[in-house]
Structure 1
Amino acid sequence: MQSFQPQYMNGLHVQETADIRRYWDVVKRRRIHFLVPALIAFTLSVIIAFVLPPVYKSSGTILIEAQEIPREFVTSTVTGYVEERLQIITQLVLSRTKLLEIIKRFNLYDDLAGRYTTEEIIEKMREDITMKPIQAEVVSPDSRRPGTATIAFTLSYEGKDPAKVTQVANVLTSLYLEENLKNREEKAQGTFDFLETQLAELRREIVDAEKKIAEFKNQHISQLPELMQLNLQTMERLEREIDAKREQIKSLTNRKIYLEGQLATIDPMTYMVSPDGKRLMSPEDEVKFLKNEYLKLSATLSQTHPDVISLKKRLEALGKEEATPDDLQERQRQLKEKKTQLALLEEQFSSQHPDVVKAQKELMQLKAHVEALSKEESVLEPKNQVPTNPSYISLQTQIASTDMEIESAKEEVGLLTKKYERYQRRVETTPQVEQQYRALQRDYANAQAKYQETTNRLLAAREAKGLEESQMGERFTLIDPPVMPEKPDSPNRLAIAIVGLVLAIGTGMGFGAVAECTDQSVRRVDELARITGYPVLGAIPLIRTKEDRSRKRRRKLAWAGTAAGLLFVGLMGL
């Protein structure tokens, strides 16, 4: 046995050398645990890279061209950002109906039919289609500020058959171009149709508003705000006319009073004149005179006296006159005067005095005559006498004419007052009518403004529609059509092998580290001394026989051959 004496070395270099030697011992001891997993992992990665089918990819580039005609002349009705429209078109193109039609047309995904549902196959095709926008720094025409805008986009499709991939990519680009044109034309047409419908509705609103205003005017023709000034002027004119008529009535009334005064001083009858120029009494005056004389004589003389009889005959000769209200009033006046005269005589003389006796008799006769006149019906009724005096008749005519003028003026004042009140009611109700009228006019003005605005928009929409139909607006242009790929786009076999190699190294190191950590064997003298707590007196090295060395050599050759074979297979796969 060979003795072993531990040495305690100091210094950093010695410690690092010992650690490296220890790690190298671990590598040599665990080389199987390192190599086998690493070779297996690398082999699997190579097999995967070799087994994966080639995937071809065909792409096309579509340019987004701006509107040819300046926006100041024609404004497009297709609004929204380019990115938004691209997403809308993408959703339309990648719809279930269109993708299913493409799958059936080119007989795609035959290997998946029967194992996957139709929805899963369509979703797989959506994953194989890629739309990638191409952006650039531009200056916004509206805000004049720099920004990022989408100027083009690439559309690609990947699959196993390069010919079908190219055909499908061309179909997809055509669908994008067609959907863009269709989408823009539909939006322009939809905007135009909408504005036409709105214009028709606004036209009906204007007609209804005009009809309402016409009906309102017919109902309030004299109370409209436009006639307010005219109504006020008419009221002022009517007020002046009423005042003038009242002044006329006042003047005519004064004139009537004056004429009546003149009439009272004129006898209605015409007097007769004698040949010597003296005025003769009328029969009525003569009768009155004879009646007075008859009363006087009857008071002093008997009824058989010749003078009394003579007066009585003269009265009968003139004809018996009917008593009139004037006769009664005259007799009543005379009776009152006679009573006063008798009272004065009685104060001065005795009741036997001749004057008193005479006055008493005259009073008795007047009382009897008044009672007789009071009983006659002719006294109660006025006597119709036709005046014969031309002056009297003229005054009567003037008074009657004045009465007629006064009545006519009063009637005109009444009519003017009613007319004035009617205009006053119009003026008073005008503010309420004006409020309703202004509301109708405001609705009509709003409808007209909306109609004019919608008309302008419709004209702009018609121009925008023509712009889209002539394809002079914003459009998609295919600048790089899809072509048949000459080599697969995936998988990248070299990258897979490199990644597999890195994973293989990591896997081997992991397995070796795990084996080393789980092995509880004691392999160094210091570990044995630390575990037992006693110093180690000596160590016996491993003794290898010739047979052991031969077996080890064969094992190494076998591993080397296996590794070489795997490496060759991997290289052939690449």
Structure 2
Amino acid sequence: MRNSSPPLEVGIARWIEVMRRNLLLASIVALGVFGIAAVVIAKLPNVYRAETRILVNPQRISDKYVSSTVSMGPAERLNTLSQQILSTSRLEAITTELNLYPKERQALGRDRVIDLMRHHITIDLKQSSDGPSAFTISYTGGSAQEVATVTNRLAASFIDWNLRDREQEAQGTTLFLEKELATSKSELDALEERLRVYKVQHLGQLPNELDANLQTLSRLQVQLQANSDAQNRLDQQALLSRSGSYDASGEQGENPQAGLRSQLVARDVQAHRDLAELHSHYTAAHPDVISKEAEVASLDAQLTQTPASVSSRTRRSGSVASPADAQETSIHHSRDHLAAEQRQIESSINNYQSRVNGVPIREQEISQLLRDYDTAKEHYRSLLEKTYTAQMSMELERGQEGGSFTLLDPAQVPDAPIGPNRPVLYSMFLVASLVAGLLVIALRERLDSTVKSDGELHDILPHIPVLGLIPRISKTIVNRSPAQPTLRRAS
């Protein structure tokens, strides 16, 4: 009958028999493993987590009115703040103040404790279409009150450090611009002083005075022409006066030098007239003017060396001067005055002509000065505008009207721990304990070489028939039976 049974049914039946025989051992192993696991799970410390949410506020005043000097965006600022707040010094201060990780601080080093705390802190940034809108800060630990306190402390640090950093950045920008503004103001003042000194040194030669100089030069040339005409008229009067005096006295024949002097006077008058005409067209450095001045000087010297004849009226009247002599003396004085005035006018003409000639050079020099001054002035104006904007931005940050963080949901003391998940752990170790019991049974059967059924015997000795089966005899039945010695001998 056993040979007709399917192999699968035989295997199942054999395993059921094995389980029945080792049920007690499997139960002890499974209960032991599960009991130990249950004790360990029960003693695991609870893990709590507290979370807070912080809103990222944009600038409250429009950029059209006040532009913020804080150029860093919320995401970059949050990253920077995270590096600052999660720094070793900051976290060490929090752990010392709140007495966090007391056992770990004794067993581990400072750096290990700080790394452990960083591992327990989570910062999650919430993005929106316009950029970062909020972020959450969470902290996990073994005490419900502790995690809430640490989370709120971290949130307060983010808010305070954000305001401090924004204000410091705005203040730093303002101080930098004010320093640059002072430097630019000094440079502008120096250029203004250079420009003022240059205008004083070259007064009358500046480009904006060219028209006035030309008008003055034209007026002086007119005066010079009028002076020359006046001198010509005086020379003619002197010549006529001398000629008339000679004719009246009848001394021309007696003194031959009188005719020569008259010719010299006529030539001198004409030379002065020509010189005045040249001065009206050319400067004193012109060759024709120089040549004519030499001719005039020569004629004047000849007139000085040629003595005038003693008039008959002097001989006749002794020391009494004639009217002709008085007129000649008056003409001579007037001509000397006009000659002095001519020299003064010519000097003024030369001066103004020099000013006019120097205008192109002065124009180039003052253009360079004005260009530097205008550049410095524009730079100063730009810095002044930026400084005003930076000062307003600094006041904006001080009044907390710029981009700031607002605490939406303060961290609350958690009602229940987030870990460990004991039901899941119990289920896992229950399955593990059952598996351990089965493994123990399999191991025992593997190591046990005794035959416990006719099927096993048939598997070992398939060609030897089984003549009979002796049922299991327990020790209790053996102890109660009077035939115990006989059975032992029979066995």
**Shorter-chain TM-score category?**
0.5 to 0.7
Q: Give the Cα–Cα distance (whole angstroms) in 2 for the partners of residues 71 and 223 of structure 1.
A: 51
- Equivalent residue, structure 1, for 2:390: 461
- Equivalent residue, structure 1, for 2:113: 121
One-letter code aligned to 1:128:
H
- Equivalent residue, structure 2, for 1:402: 331
- Equivalent residue, structure 2, for 1:221: 203
- Equivalent residue, structure 2, for 1:169: 151
Higher mean alpha-carbon deviation, 194-203 vs 480-489, is at: 194-203
Are positions 1:76 and 2:68 aligned together? yes
Query: What is the 5 A alignment of 1:136-535?
Result: 136-138=128-130, 149-267=131-249, 386=314, 388=316, 393-491=322-420
Q: Give the Cα–Cα distance (whole angstroms) in 1 for the partners of residues 368 and 190 of structure 2.
A: 14
- Equivalent residue, structure 1, for 2:127: 135
SS of 2:345 mapped into structure 1: helix
Shift of 1:114: 4.0
The count of corresponding residues between Structure 1 and Structure 2 is 366
- Equivalent residue, structure 1, for 2:298: none
CA, structure 1 residues 407+265, in 2 after alignment: closer, same or farther (shift >3 Å)? same
CA, structure 1 residues 55+404, in 2 after alignment: closer, same or farther (shift >3 Å)? same
CA, structure 1 residues 382+431, in 2 after alignment: closer, same or farther (shift >3 Å)? closer
- Equivalent residue, structure 2, for 1:372: none
Shift of 1:84: 1.1
SS of 2:82 mapped into structure 1: helix
Q: Give the Cα–Cα distance (whole angstroms) in 1 for the partners of residues 425 and 237 of structure 2.
A: 138
Shift of 1:234: 1.1
- Equivalent residue, structure 2, for 1:334: none
Q: Give the Cα–Cα distance (whole angstroms) in 2 for the partners of residues 48 and 435 of structure 1.
A: 99
SS of 2:104 mapped into structure 1: coil
Q: Give the Cα–Cα distance (whole angstroms) in 2 for the partners of residues 120 and 490 of structure 1.
A: 23
Higher mean alpha-carbon deviation, 243-252 vs 473-482, is at: 243-252
- Using the size of structure 1 for normalisation, the TM-score is 0.54
CA, structure 1 residues 191+395, in 2 after alignment: closer, same or farther (shift >3 Å)? same
Q: Give the Cα–Cα distance (whole angstroms) in 2 for the partners of residues 502 and 186 of structure 1.
A: 61
One-letter code aligned to 1:204:
S
Structure with bigger gyration radius: 1
Shift of 1:216: 2.0
Q: Give the Cα–Cα distance (whole angstroms) in 2 for the partners of residues 265 and 383 of structure 1.
A: 13
- Residue identity over aligned pairs, in percent, reads 28
- Equivalent residue, structure 2, for 1:57: 49
> What whole-Å deviation, never above 9, does each CA across 1:39-66 have from its counterpart, x for those lacking one?
9xx99xx799948654322111000122
CA, structure 1 residues 499+410, in 2 after alignment: closer, same or farther (shift >3 Å)? farther
> What whole-Å deviation, never above 9, does each CA across 1:525-566 have from its counterpart, x for those lacking one?
xxxxxxxxxxxxxxx9753799xx99xxxxxxxxxxxxxxxx
Q: Give the Cα–Cα distance (whole angstroms) in 1 for the partners of residues 349 and 382 of structure 2.
A: 47
CA, structure 1 residues 458+382, in 2 after alignment: closer, same or farther (shift >3 Å)? closer
CA contact (8 A) 2:69 2:390 kept: yes
One-letter code aligned to 2:229:
E
CA, structure 1 residues 120+76, in 2 after alignment: closer, same or farther (shift >3 Å)? same
- Equivalent residue, structure 1, for 2:461: 543
CA, structure 1 residues 388+381, in 2 after alignment: closer, same or farther (shift >3 Å)? closer
Q: Give the Cα–Cα distance (whole angstroms) in 1 for the partners of residues 375 and 308 of structure 2.
A: 81
CA contact (8 A) 2:205 2:355 kept: yes
Shift of 1:422: 1.2
Query: What is the 5 A alignment of 1:72-111?
Result: 72-111=64-103
> What whole-Å deviation, never above 9, does each CA across 1:447-491 have from its counterpart, x for those lacking one?
443443333333333332332222222221111111223333345
CA contact (8 A) 2:166 2:397 kept: yes
CA, structure 1 residues 382+240, in 2 after alignment: closer, same or farther (shift >3 Å)? closer
Q: Give the Cα–Cα distance (whole angstroms) in 2 for the partners of residues 449 and 405 of structure 1.
A: 61
- Structure 2 unaligned runs (5+)? 1-7, 16-29, 258-306, 434-457, 471-491
CA contact (8 A) 1:268 1:392 kept: no
- Using the size of structure 2 for normalisation, the TM-score is 0.63
Shift of 1:251: 3.4
CA contact (8 A) 2:48 2:141 kept: yes
Q: Give the Cα–Cα distance (whole angstroms) in 2 for the partners of residues 265 and 249 of structure 1.
A: 24
SS of 1:74 mapped into structure 2: coil
CA contact (8 A) 2:249 2:311 kept: no
Q: Give the Cα–Cα distance (whole angstroms) in 2 for the partners of residues 503 and 224 of structure 1.
A: 106
Q: Give the Cα–Cα distance (whole angstroms) in 1 for the partners of residues 431 and 245 of structure 2.
A: 153
Q: Give the Cα–Cα distance (whole angstroms) in 2 for the partners of residues 87 and 203 of structure 1.
A: 39
Q: Give the Cα–Cα distance (whole angstroms) in 1 for the partners of residues 81 and 111 of structure 2.
A: 20
CA, structure 1 residues 70+409, in 2 after alignment: closer, same or farther (shift >3 Å)? same
CA contact (8 A) 1:268 1:388 kept: no
One-letter code aligned to 1:429:
G
CA contact (8 A) 1:268 1:389 kept: no
Q: Give the Cα–Cα distance (whole angstroms) in 2 for the partners of residues 422 and 262 of structure 1.
A: 42
Q: Give the Cα–Cα distance (whole angstroms) in 2 for the partners of residues 161 and 249 of structure 1.
A: 122
